[in-house]
Amino acid sequence: MSAAAVNEMEAEAILAEPNLIAVGVRGDEDRRRRHGTKTTFVRVLEVHADAVPSALPASASAGEIRVTGKPASIAAAIAAVKAARAVAATTAVTAFSLADLLDLAGGSTGGLTDLAAQLAAAGLEMVAEAPIDLLPDAPATVRAARDGGLQVPRLTVHNAPQEARVRLAALARDVQSAAGGVRVFAPLPRVTSIAHPTTGYDDVKVIAMARLLAANIDSIQVDWPLYGPKLAQVALTMGADDVDGISPMEGVLGRRRSPIEEIRGNITAAGLEAIERDGRFAPRGQ
């Protein structure tokens, strides 16, 4: 673990700290200790499990093909993976939420291991996301998927109140300790409460807290389309070092307004070095 790692009590104090700059300095120092100024991002082409195309768009340059949606059955999940693998060529294919796969397997970790083995045989490399707040036993569930031959490199949070943020960051740390194989943790929820929305001030403090508490996970990730370029840019100065969900489309709005130029420009403007990676976490086009 990093020398700057904190415990749960210290993490709660970080979220309660009114001095945002002080919090940001702590998160950024630990991020730079690990990665220097290097900041990775991945271009993702999402395809729905019910409508995997027979060919990829000519203007797409994706480092990851991600199959989204909950398949209606195990057979449908296998068919979607085979279809995505057929059009992806050498591009990494990820698919599904681990919570949805557990449900398809009847809630059994043994059933999940069997399902993971079937999906791996169909050509799946990695589960797209593991929403730890939706898993009844997150370490055991991640371990079961890995036992079946699937990587689970990305832990996410689906929907959690502010008071659960420290508990979930600690859970991400514990999943890594128990199961291993985690490359990134995205601590900001994918669904937020309409009645009690968070602020950007709250969100970037969560980034810093997660960087310091989940110290055994290499990267903290922020979602570009979900949280927007401006918050993502600030998050990169608070402890995040990986950006997910960049559009793979090129040439649609002209070079200067293309997604690849926008993400590189935002990272560079934050004083950081932009490095594109693929879905296997390897540098792309370097």
- CATH number of 223's domain: 3.20.20.70
Share of the chain above pLDDT 70, in %: 94
Residue 285 domain-assigned?
no
Rg (CA), the chain: 18
d(CA 79, CA 86): 11
Contact 247, 275 (CB under 8 A): no
Residue 130 domain-assigned?
yes
By mean pLDDT, which of 95-99, 106-110, 131-135, 229-233 is the weakest? 229-233
| Distance of alpha carbon 38 from the chain centroid | 17
Number of domains making up the chain: 1
Encoding tokens for residue 84?
């995505």
3-state secondary structure of 123: coil
Residue 104 domain-assigned?
yes
Q: Mean pLDDT across the stretch 185-189?
A: 97
Residue 3 domain-assigned?
no
In the predicted model, is pLDDT for residue 187 greater than 80? yes
Residue 73 domain-assigned?
yes
Q: Tell me, yes or no, if the pTM score tops 0.85.
A: yes
| pLDDT grade for 42, boundaries at 50, 70 and 90 | very high
pLDDT of residue 285: 73
Encoding tokens for residue 264?
């590189």
* Best CA proximity match to 115, nearest among 81, 84, 79, 145: 145
pLDDT of residue 201: 86
In the predicted model, is pLDDT for residue 195 greater than 90? no
| pLDDT grade for 4, boundaries at 50, 70 and 90 | low
Beta bridge partners of 47: 67
pLDDT of residue 254: 47
List helix spans (H) across the chain.
Answer: 8-16, 20-35, 74-88, 98-104, 109-121, 138-147, 165-179, 200-213, 224-235, 259-269
Residue 1 domain-assigned?
no
Q: Whole domain around residue 140: which residue ranges?
A: 8-277
